[in-house]
Amino acid sequence: MGILSNSTIPYAGGLIILWWLYRLVKDRQSNPNRLPFPPGPKGYPIIGSLFDFPIYKSWLVYDKWFKTYGDMIYFEVLGQPFLILGSAKRTNDLFEKRSSNYSDRPRLPMAGEMMGWEYVLTFLPYGNWWRRQRRIFHDHFHPNIVHKYQTIQINTARAFLRRLLKSPDDFVHHIRHVFASTIIKVAYGITIEEKNDPIITNVEICLEGLAEAGNPGAFLVDIFPVMKYIPDWFPGAAWKRKAARWRHFNGLLRNGPWDRVKDQMKTGTAEPCIATSILGKLPDEGSPDFAEADFIGRDVCVVAFLGGADTTVSTVQSFFMAMCIYPEVQKKAQAELDEILRGRLPEFNDRPNLPYINAMVKESLRWQLVAPLAVAHMCTNGDEYDGYYIPKGTIVIGNGWTILHDPEVFEDPLTYNPDRYLKDGKIDPTVPDHNLASFGFGRRICPGRFFSDSSLFSIVAHILAVYDIRPGLDKDGKEVEIKPEMTSGLLSYPEPFACMITPRSKEAKDLIDNSSLMDILG
């Protein structure tokens, strides 16, 4: 299925020809050494590789293409050049060593202007506004400060154990709830409801839209921005109505919690959090600088909330799936936890003594990537690299899935195997890990990765300390075979699967029941 299925190409014929001619002339003028483009499918005149452009699980399609064309694939779709990178060497050469030219983002009219994601740090163009937002975000999530949030992470992890005990079949909902409740407490000091909280509903709707529209070319309007002026009632414009719905919920999420904290600060009822820290430093409301500072603070908080509420959700779902498929890994992890914990729940100060759990965190992030293609970069200026020419405006994508499933780096890469990171019972620092690709690349690497890492450790350690996870049963009482299938989109999740989650023993159940009494207060 290609890009045509998402839009209204019959209305864009003239634009296609004009755009192609413009690109053709421009590329010839800006490539003075007449270097070839990197290898890739040649496509057809004007439309390029339109009919080959992958939409469904495109990272797997590109992975196959690498075997034909090598670790760089270049192609064009309706005049828009794409470059897909399939090795750590290529991503390092361009995103790290030439970061000043490869840190911009492509314009995404659907996700940005039409759905309202243009303010999100992830999609901001490379420039001063991005630097200001990134700097404030870093102030609250750098590796030397995330320990401040461990109390909240421990408390929400233990509440998660209690929810699993009450309704284990709802584990997917509980996973989303635990991460949403953690980050909203950190960002806004808000405690969400146990059930049917409208904030979680808003998050789910917003991220549904992001997963569908976040990859360049998912909608034809990303190639031809003028299409955003097509009226909503026009035949074939259902995509515009989708955008309007998602934009509405994006606005609720962006403004609701922030305005709530502002009102709480006026009444003296706000809890200490990132929002109160930022609001306390804003200029006076009458100041000419207030509006801009308020916008940046608002956006930093909602970006933290969106990232923390969702990305690790997929990883934990994949972890549950892995425990069903690889019971021997689960038993090994539980043996390590039993030896260290001796009948209590884990704390963060146990982490140095739990190498196998730390290896599981690494493997969970590598095995099934949350964002297999990360977020696309853009080439700011035409570039010459390794004997090839890369035109200005090329959308450059690092295929993280291929990088983290390279059999020359990760033996038997489709297997979930934490032992690959261990040597003599300790983490082997010489082994490459998920940081090659799981959080993005270069200057645009996810700044919340340290918070995500500590949240994932806490959840994995807590779950395995007290629960056994097994595949669900069919009508004949036999365990259902679970295959590691993932959904398509910018954000990828495990396809629905059933599993049984039961306390490991009576003592484990008692720990769960009494965990509210053991929550850290602070």
- Strand residue runs (E) in 98-213: none
- Burial 246-284, CB ≥16 within 10 A → b, else e: bbebbeebbebbbebbbebeeeeebeebbbbebbeebee
Residue type, 160: F
The β-bridge partners of 80 are 77
First to last CA, the chain: 52
| Length of the chain counted residue by residue | 522
Does the annotation list 324 as a binding residue? Answer: no
Q: Cα angle vertex 429, ends 427, 432, to 5°?
A: 105
Do residues 67 and 73 lie in contact, with contact meaning Cβ atoms separated by under 8 Å?
Answer: no
How far is 218 from 117, CA to CA, in rounded Å?
Answer: 15
Chain-centroid distance, C-alpha 456: 14
Q: Are strands 395-398 and 80-85 parallel, antiparallel or unpaired?
A: parallel
Q: For residues 407 and 404, what is the distance between their CA atoms, to the nearest angstrom? A: 9
Q: Is 423 helix (H, G, I), strand (E, B) or coil?
A: strand
Q: Which residues are annotated as a binding site for heme?
A: 446
